[in-house]
Structure 1
């Protein structure tokens, strides 16, 4: 039996036990996991350094290395995320609806775990902990398959978490890590109908496309983040500059960072040069349309392919537009339905933008960097769904449950 199938089978058996766990039992386990991460942070960082060294030797960009890197502060933050999940209501086992039929049948609709979740993701090792915590809190088992770039980090993290679980009522087999870094392990997971109940991909466009196109197991799609910020003519310069700069520079390697800045021609005439200088001082490579380059000659000429690219790096497109309609058309053409922002003092334009942009999260006068489970108060997230079925936006605890109908009778039969 392959590693993938063996671990999925173990998770399947564990899921049958997880379904019986009380909220208190699950919370105790999460607290033990958080404590273990902090206690073992030195060994986790040592494993992470092996991944960093290998990535640097392979020419991985500094922005992606930052995405991969673990520090004591980041591990403490990850552990704190688990503790926040403990404080959140348990969405499993809730009575959602109850009614009685004319024939006397009493029907209850309750929330239940999805079962066994297959999580396929790339470089960020914090996702290992977030996914484990969210799945276990909701009574699910999880099979993790992280990217090869974080293999040593993920292996050590899961060892620490499983060791913590072994001292609790939760079955340690509910948390599994596939260590085979080959594409074949992903392909096998996508076909494990009967063992995996759902697959959630989290990573770049090519990974997500492969999962969506080839899975026979149901998929919850988390999308790439080609995010935009539109600076309307009435935008206040200081606010607009701070929001745009934060959206691009605060952490460019993540999916909610901005890739394209759309600027009203009136705002651009007065402010684009100063705004561009701020980005250039932060070593951001600018790529712009002809109108942009007339004001900012430092910018390279942008291409159609650039507009559709999720850089995850210190690279940003700038396009000058005639107004809201052209901005909306650009977002419709190149956006990935992730996160979009308008900066404006015009209430009518703000409302039109929020109403008409088709994305999981739309913002007025705030950075797209807030599209995050932690920032939304979910404690953590298993991904940001850009599809429209089952879940959309940052996926916290409720998104990892489904429903079951319980029907109570007194001998009724259907005529």
Structure 2
């Protein structure tokens, strides 16, 4: 095991860089032992993928077989089909960079956007491609066209990336950023109280409501559709230029929850695609509706052909594809970006509903198992309506950092939440099993 420091551990947990310790999955063994807690990462590469078979799904991942991976909340290992696509595009670029780019860039970008549109049931023209959630948040908040008399409402529970992006926005525009607390005890949070507290913070000057779908520090999942409905009510009678728009950091729900952008009801959805979706590292997206895109000025020049042709013609661009116009230009790690379509279709082949059920069932099993142990407190709500894949826990007398190290030594990859109040954080996903969950509960019991 690589030596970890407390600071490095927190940075890794928060910035998707915590790869100092290998983790994985197999199907064999008895619950409670490291071998039993592994899922199948050592399947036959030549075996046909059966999306209806969870063992076949897990066999698509090249995770080390000596640990159980409960860390989809940080930085994911992509399935075989994604890795093969990355290798294929890399080989083409390495062999003849210019020819491969010229022959494929347009069609592969379109294919990636089409797959994202299918996944979210969204118009691909309203989708922008990014490298991460943080890039997406910086892009949308950094481009907000706000007046000094306008306000942004966010919460105390959002991650650094949102708070820092909004701080910079306030410096640039003169707008005010206000924060509210949505719950005192995350485990006992209620949808009604969350919505009421948030809406109470809206004023006539509120132009943007900035929230996070699933809180990475507690595991609380916000009732975004209810929030969207309440924001719509607050907008009654407002002029278009004064309406409050709902912006959502969706990274810890994207890849777990079986919803579309219409289901969520938000105006903007920002997400990385290299966590719960198990997409290529360094990929992400932004979706926004027409009203929201009109409020967001591009921060980095786009390489969209419409913009480029307008530059050649010496005229302002006519933006008919706001997502592509908002996508940062420049040369990217194209082999990763173009492989994102495979990750999205991998999930669609399994079925978003089945992914949600598999993840939630294990999360509920884990929370119920941990709740039966003396000396440990489950921080995340029990109800699936208010939680997703992240499960946070606190110990009465054990040091969280040392506890996570001990769990890793026992073959269970866990982490810490990078907030002022830190918890142990785990997350069942595609690559974990109910048997692994039982093993994790037993390992936590052994700590107490």
What TM-score results when the alignment is normalised by the length of structure 1?
0.24
Name the larger-Rg structure.
Answer: 1
- Which structure features the higher share of strand residues? 1
Higher relative contact order (CA 8 A, sep 6+): 2
